Structure 1
Amino acid sequence: YGYCENCGVKIDKERLEEVPYVRYCVDCQEKIELEEKVAKLEKEEMTLSSVPPAYDESTQDIIEGEDEGETEVEARIGKGVTEESEEEEGEEVAEDEEEVEEEEIQTSDIEEEEGISESLRKKIEQEVEEELTQIEGKKEEEEYYQEEEEEKIEGKRRGRKKRETALKEEKAKKKRKTGKKKEKGDKKEKTEKKSDSKKKRK
């Protein structure tokens, strides 16, 4: 869509806006319409020539006289017609050359646009790749710091548990020592009571 089906040239934006589904550029459209008109005229001429005219002898003489007059006129102006034809052919050649040059310019413009588009696409891909690399690097850095932080927290927890365990063991030892002292004190007290009771009996 947007390119001529005949010559492949990009169709003007204004033409596409006027006729959204146009298939040919302006030059090709004119050529096709001209070819269709010529073909139609040739067909009509062939149809007319296939029907023989009904003329009598007098009419035939008039026609022959007209033909002779036309032949003389054609002979006189033949030279001028030839010159005009040559001029027309020269103009057509010049127009064809201009069209070829215009098509070449349009083709070079399209190739240049495609080249710019390709370089722009590569630049965008490179920028996206760099951004992704930076994102990955930041992500890895964050993960590293997160792991390091988790290790610190885990180390603190272990240290706290060790301290708590040590405190519990120390308390248990104190309790055991206190219990032993109490037992010794109770035994000593019992011994003293027994000795006192023996003295009283005496």
Structure 2
Amino acid sequence: MCFLQTQITHTELLDLKPLPLSALGNKAYEDLYRFTHFNPIQTQAFHVLYHTETNVLLGAPTGSGKTISAELAMLHLFNTQPDMKVVYIAPLKAIVRERMNDWRHRLVTQLGKKMVEMTGDFTPDMVALLSADIIISTPEKWDGISRSWHSRSYVMKVGLMILDEIHLLGADRGPILEVIVSRMRYISSQTERSIRFVGLSTALANAR
């Protein structure tokens, strides 16, 4: 596992005692999960994800629990800035749909959060976007939407951006991801509202 925060280049997976769900300190959050303890990666990353505003780059194999790790950062935003929005960027429509189906049954149904999908096939109306707590989008769609950020107040209310499969920075669609991050950082500087970035990857050969 590679786990980066700020300028740390690599964090070895430590042999830690599994952290119980009770560490969330919130019964509603505990009820989101069917397990009793977080796995080693989630346990090690728990504090920085759930209790800080630190940008995180988390690299681990497929099926190792990266999505739940990202959810910890989402829960932190819900705790500290409930008026701000989460934007989850996924490179494929299939991943967008998978997240929609999963979170609809948990974050929406159990926590009462509002969620919208933005892909080439679907663009929600302004009312839905303004009221959404979670926006799930493809890179291309968010790139197009965020270009007109001055006239779209919901873009200026993003507090957390999660970029899945961020190793695609090195592929053909990499420039779009770079533009998205750069633009959101610029928006943050103009609005003086901090935006936290969490990147998820299965490979980090050139992590820095």
Give the TM-score of the pair, scaled to structure 1. 0.18
Instruction: Give the structure with the higher percent helix.
Output: 1
Q: Which of the pair has more CA radius of gyration?
A: 1
Higher relative contact order (Cα pairs below 8 Å, separated by 6+ residues) = 2
Instruction: Give the structure with the higher percent strand.
Output: 2
